[in-house]
A and B are shown apart, each in its own frame.
Chain A
Amino acid sequence: MSQMSASERAAGATEVPVARAPYFVRKKKGISPQSIAIIVFLSMCALFFCIPLYVVVVTSFKSMDQIREGAIFALPQIWTLDAWDHAWNKACSGINCHGLKVGFWNSVMILFPSLILSIALSMVTGYALALWNVRWAGAFLFLLFICAFVPFQIIMYPLIVMTSSMKVYGTIWGVAIVHAVLAMPVLTLIFRNYYKDIPQEIMSAAVMDSGSFWKIFFEIILPMSGNILIVILILQITSIWNDYLIGVTFGGLNGQPMTVNLANLVTISTGTTNYAHNMAAALLTAIPPLVVYFVVGKLFVQGVTAGAIKG
């Protein structure tokens, strides 16, 4: 009974604005040529990404017999997870045939230390540069700016010498440390610019209240850094996970990340190329960054626009 009346009320409520004549009749805007052009362009972009993705996904579920028929757009006749299982557990990278899971765990072990190291160091440096009077801060910033634009290839050989003298060359730690060091200039600049927007009076108040560099950082500044941390996390996770060159150079035989595994698996194979295995392996490698995007993507957009309306 009460449901009835509720729906009636709802119906009545929707009727009211319809019954009232608009005071000023506005001309409805049609679809303009600009928006048609934009829709066509966006559709083309979407297809450009979606068609290969579709092919990769369906192929990974096909049996080798169906793949040989050559109809790449066809759906699998029999859906099978064999290719995924093979790629994860049995695929060969060089002489090791333990599948991609080795590379996956290597990538994870590289990811966390380098994330923690690079973010912790650049955050504190950015905080000091932005909010405290640091001698030569301008020159230091300029140096960071230059460093951010040095191509990795140029310093690759010196880095190899340095890491081998630190006895970390060819290990997971070597890859992690190089990632962290290379990311630091850009991250420091990003943190510094974010902290520069914190009102000076808040800093003055904190200096008068406490005066302690670390106490102000942990109690005042860190809690205000949520937005920028999300942005940096996504940037770093994707770039570290997707890296190939640093992994292949510094990882040696036992510290290879997942991307290096994948490349070995795809390029070095004996006999016929098993496309299903390759597709499944490629998808497995792509899943972690995708998960990160889906989980924190909304926060990412908030973080990117947060500078304008930081409260």
Chain B
Amino acid sequence: MPTVSFEHIVKSYGSMTVLNDLNLSVDDGDFLVLLGPSGCGKTTLLNLLAGLLEVSDGRIMIGDRDVTDLDPKDRGLAMVFQSYALYPTKTVHGNLKFGLSASKLPRDEIEKRIAWAARLLQIEPLLNRKPGQLSGGQRQRVAIGRALVKNVGVFLFDEPLSNLDAKLRTEMRLEIKKLHDELKSTIVYVTHDQIEAMTMATRIAVMDGGVIQQFGTPDEIYERPANLFVAGFIGSPAMNLREATLNVSNDRITAQLASGVVLDLEGYDFAETPRNGTKVIVGLRPEHFGAPDVREAKAAATFTLPVQYTERTGSDATVYLKLDNQLLALRVAPDAASRLKPGTSVSVDFLSGKANLFDAQTGRRM
């Protein structure tokens, strides 16, 4: 179960550079999720690791082996594809067996591994069927099985759950997580789904425009987003981002929003010394607002705003308030949301010590 590291990776197509001097290292047994919007380069990075694409410059290491110029089959990897990519004319058994065709194993060892993977994934009754006779979830299990039989240390997943329906996706998410816990292998997993990333990863690399915006544990990424992109990308509903001006005076630091509301920044862990009058962007997570019309003991700011509309998902609800012609989202209990009629004015507190501050010019966390 080796480490995987990308060192100064450059990938360009003609004059277009997709990845430029990218460095990333995954520890032994980590579950790394590459997360980002479409076209951010995450799949390119995975294909470079798999050997399906060639790097223009840089080095890829798996353990202490330099695999940059190795053939895909010699890299000691197994990959699961988005569209399953099962061989349509082979049975499930044949699919699993072909996964081992590069390794020259004795016949009984091959059969032993197939039986092991089939038992682990509960696809034993399906071994003699063709992929066309399987449901989406079963196909995905077979695709994972084809990777498992190779018995390698590093597994690659390329958006493996995005073709499944919502219920199945939740089930498979847990199963993949369980497999990772059992096998203790290193996993590199590409997705654009932040729920998958937050639930499965031990490390997340958020990517945008071919650049790794932040690399850290799911909690770090959620609690302390490194820049405006990560802040806006992670979290649903998205973090409320508002322009503000810093006010520094006698130990008390506040941020004044454009609407005039003053946000108390007591307890904020500044990375640099704040200066008076700096233009900033404050980020307020929807769930860090207190219940409407209930006074919090320690509130950083109080907003009294008209309700624009409410959205209920069953387990919780989102209320959108109107602030300077923009919407301010806050998460509330469903019964509280049902009492709020559009047009009525409510008063909510933002909890102390939960705000995020970003430099308005650089977009970096302050």
Contact = CB atoms under 8 A, between A and B. Distances in A.
Interface of A: 199, 201-202, 204-212, 215, 219-220, 223-224, 311
B83 A220 contact: no
B160 to A, nearest CB: 11
Interface in B39-67: 47, 50-52
B59 to A, nearest CB: 20
B88 interface: yes
Contact of B73 (A207, A219, A220, A311): A207
Interface of A is mostly: helix
Contact of A224 (B52, B73, B78, B88): B88
Contacts of B101: 209-210, 212, 215, 219
A206 B101 CA distance: 10
B304 interface: no
A208 B50 contact: yes
B81 A205 contact: yes
Nearest to A209: B99
Contacts of A311: 88, 132
Contacts of A202: 85-88
Contacts of B98: 206, 209-210, 219-220
A66 B1 CA distance: 91
Nearest to B71: A211
Contact of A208 (B52, B84, B88, B90): B52
Closest A-B pairs by Cβ, 3 of them: A211-B73, A223-B89, A201-B85
Given A204-B52, A205-B79, A219-B98, A211 B85 contact: no
B203 interface: no
B81 A201 contact: yes
Interface of B is mostly: loop
A83 B281 CA distance: 99
B87 A208 contact: no
A205 B72 CA distance: 10
Nearest to A202: B85
Given A209-B101, A211-B73, 15 more contacts: A199-B85, A201-B83, A202-B87, A204-B52, A205-B86, A206-B87, A208-B52, A208-B72, A208-B78, A209-B73, A209-B98, A210-B101, A211-B74, A219-B90, A311-B88
A208 B150 CA distance: 11
Nearest to B80: A205
29 contacts: A199-B83, A199-B85, A201-B82, A201-B84, A201-B85, A204-B52, A205-B79, A205-B86, A206-B87, A206-B98, A207-B72, A208-B50, A208-B72, A208-B73, A208-B79, A209-B73, A209-B99, A209-B101, A210-B73, A210-B102, A211-B72, A211-B74, A211-B102, A219-B87, A219-B90, A219-B98, A220-B89, A224-B88, A224-B89
B256 to A, nearest CB: 53
Interface in B77-123: 77-79, 81-90, 98-102
B141 interface: no
B296 to A, nearest CB: 52
A10 B116 CA distance: 53
Instruction: Name the residue among B81, B86, B87, B90 with the largest chain A CB count within 10 angstroms.
Output: B87
A207 B52 contact: yes
A133 to B, nearest CB: 10
Contacts of A212: 101-102
B73 A205 contact: no
Contacts of A211: 71-74, 102
A311 B52 CA distance: 24
B146 interface: yes
A219 B98 CA distance: 9
Nearest to B81: A201
A205 B102 CA distance: 12
Contacts of A224: 88-89
A223 B101 CA distance: 17
A219 to B, nearest CB: 6
A197 B47 CA distance: 21
A136 to B, nearest CB: 17
Contacts of A199: 83, 85
A199 B158 CA distance: 15
Nearest to B158: A201
Contacts of B73: 207-211
Contacts of B72: 207-208, 211
A224 B73 CA distance: 23
B153 to A, nearest CB: 15
Nearest to A225: B89
Contacts of B100: 209
Nearest to A311: B132
B313 to A, nearest CB: 34
Instruction: Name the residue among A207, A209, A210, A211 with the largest chain B CB count within 10 angstroms.
Output: A209
Nearest to A208: B72
Nearest to A205: B85
Contact of A209 (B74, B83, B88, B146): B146
A211 B82 CA distance: 20
A219 B88 CA distance: 11
B68 to A, nearest CB: 16
A211 B101 CA distance: 9
